[in-house]
Amino acid sequence: MAYQLPQIPKPPKAKKKQVMLVASGDLRLSANQNCWPAQQAMETALAEVVGELGYELVRAHPYKEDEKHGFIGSQKEGMCVFAGIDPQARLIVAEAVWQYSHHVLAGLLSHQGPILTVANWSGQWPGLVGMLNLNGCLTKAGVKYSTLWSEDFKTDEAFRKNLARWLEKGSVKHDLKHVTPLRDVKIPGAERKLGEALAAQLRRNKAIMGIFDEGCMGMYNAIIQDEILNPMGVYKERLSQSALYYETTQVRDDEARAVMQWMLDRGMKFVTGPNPETDLTEEQILTQCKMYIAAVRIADDFGCHTIGIQYQQGLKDLLPASDLVEGTLNNTDRPPVFSRDGSRELYAGRALPHFNEVDECAGLDGLMTHRLHTAMGQPPETTLHDVRWGDWDRSGTLSDYVWVFLISGSAPPAHFVGGWSGASSERQPAMYFRLGGGTLKGISKPGEIVWSRVYVEDGEAKMDLGRAGVVELPPAETDRRWQATTPQWPIMHAVLYGVSRDQFMAKHKANHIQVAYAHSAKEADAALYAKAAMAEAMGMTVHLCGTRKNGKPW
């Protein structure tokens, strides 16, 4: 019997010296329109350099006149674009903006030619965060790729040399001498014993990770498969943001006002205004306070040890942003929340670790940190930051390269200079949040931190850890950095020990980084050792990055 076979058109074959370019964008039209000029400028500069190296950069999808931008704006659109790309062609994914990786992941999974991810070195929208997320997604998916970044494509000789190599050879390698496998490190006995005991306790007693809708903003890298997570003793409770919305509507006005007043009594500052479309209003704040109470109650209902709210999608058309909620949850000293009948305080005297954007890798890390630091008598608060940008200190205060770790609001006040009295709340940018909502903003206090990242590679969970110091910069330099990024968000000035800018970028497999303070450099080293031992005992492959504060290797 004869069947009608489908017609599968073949895409045009790329010429020998042609390089195809795609640009993944946001799902929100307003963000794509606002960010397009920066992307266009980046592509123009990149095309010029590619041309000077003897190749032609060809956009694989057009500028959309009706939408006023040239980004791939959905997974469906991405699939259509890749259907028209020669699967053997050299392909550059160029990013000057935050982007949704799932828009292009399907096409990149089936692409057979060399893949290069490229970002401009700018904190503006930012491409660095978007590229690092895509890199983490490709790493988890097992897709081979190379990656490059530059502040100025035209004058950066190292970038041009690496780009030329990729154009000719199809791959680029970076310096990873700062990375030490844990198997080559001798962990002190006390820290190893503690880490292994905490891992055994977790496997025996088990923990629940509450997830308010999985898979935020296309972050495939932020999902840990159950078959990887469960043997560690951690199980997902898949919750719905619709339930969070409903529970928020059930919280009484007087309960919300009590939360807001608790913050005000501790010196929290709310930057409010009369226009809800552009200003933070009291109504928005009180709704966020209701969401905070609702989140704690739902977590208690299901026995959750950590929770994650999806943040930018789902709830954004129903409620103000969840940032104020997230940072408050992450703080040990926080407004009390009682059961619906008022008979008991929920999670009394402790933080309820929250992982922003439902990043389960950060959720697992935060759960580990909370338990480990509590056992060690160290501050248990943890922050998931974006690896937003970095620059040399231009104030002359320091000779170090200082990273800008910045997040939309999940930083706990315990991490700020002045605590709650050093915290403020400003309206989230309208292009992201039509209904507003305040952030939890502050400047991270000077001190010693452990940084870490859980990620999935080769079908297993892995963890990278390192040490850093949070430094104090003059107000003018801090403001310069805020204005180059998002001034409504909390900021951390971090100096990584023994890790250069490019080494960090070459190894890091996510847009996010986890940070936690210790009381001293010596205690931070001990916390790192214990966390590494705990991760290894949980079945992760562990790498230590960089050095101790004194420059000595691990």
* HEC secondary structure over 225-254: CHHHHHHHCEEEEEECHHHHHHHHHHCCHH
Q: Calculate Rg over the CA atoms of the chain.
A: 23
Can you tell me the distance from the alpha carbon of 323 to that of 329, in angstroms, rounded to the nearest whole number?
A: 10
- Expressed in angstroms, the distance from the first to the final Cα of the chain is 69
**What is the per-residue pLDDT for 160?**
98
- Joined together, the tokens standing for residue 494 give 């971090």
Residue 140: pLDDT band by 50, 70, 90 thresholds? very high
**What is the per-residue pLDDT for 313?**
73
Check pLDDT > 80 for residue 46.
Answer: yes
Tens of pLDDT, residues 389-434:
999 999 999 999 999 999 987 899 999 999 999 999 999 998 889 9
478 contacts 445 by C-beta, under 8 angstroms: no
Beta strands across the sheet bearing 90-95: 56-59, 18-22, 90-95, 115-120, 146-150
Phi-psi region of 116 (alpha: psi -120 to 50; beta: other; left: phi over 0): beta
Check pLDDT > 80 for residue 202.
Answer: yes
Nearest CA to 494 out of 408, 419, 406, 404 is that of 404
Can you tell me the distance from the alpha carbon of 181 to that of 463, in angstroms, rounded to the nearest whole number?
A: 10
The verdict on whether omega for the bond into residue 126 sits within 30 degrees of 0, i.e. cis, is: yes
Percent of the chain's residues with pLDDT above 90: 95
Tens of pLDDT, residues 24-44:
999 999 999 999 999 999 999
Tens of pLDDT, residues 212-228:
999 998 999 999 999 99
217 contacts 100 by C-beta, under 8 angstroms: yes
Place of tokens 């509450």: 210
Quote the DSSP letter at residue 64.
B
- Joined together, the tokens standing for residue 457 give 């590679």
Instruction: Find the mean pLDDT for residues 446-473.
Output: 98
Place of tokens 């045009």: 12
Can you tell me the distance from the alpha carbon of 211 to that of 218, in angstroms, rounded to the nearest whole number?
A: 15
Which residues neighbour 169 within 8 Å (Cβ) at sequence distance 6 or greater?
none
Which residues neighbour 549 within 8 Å (Cβ) at sequence distance 6 or greater?
448, 467, 469, 497, 521, 524, 525
Tens of pLDDT, residues 234-278:
999 999 999 999 999 999 999 999 999 999 999 999 999 999 999
Check pLDDT > 70 for residue 312.
Answer: no
Tens of pLDDT, residues 473-505:
999 999 999 999 999 999 999 999 999 999 999
Check pLDDT > 90 for residue 311.
Answer: no
Residue 328: pLDDT band by 50, 70, 90 thresholds? very high
Instruction: Find the mean pLDDT for residues 303-326.
Output: 91
Check pLDDT > 80 for residue 387.
Answer: yes
Nearest CA to 379 out of 443, 442, 331 is that of 331
Residue 181: pLDDT band by 50, 70, 90 thresholds? very high
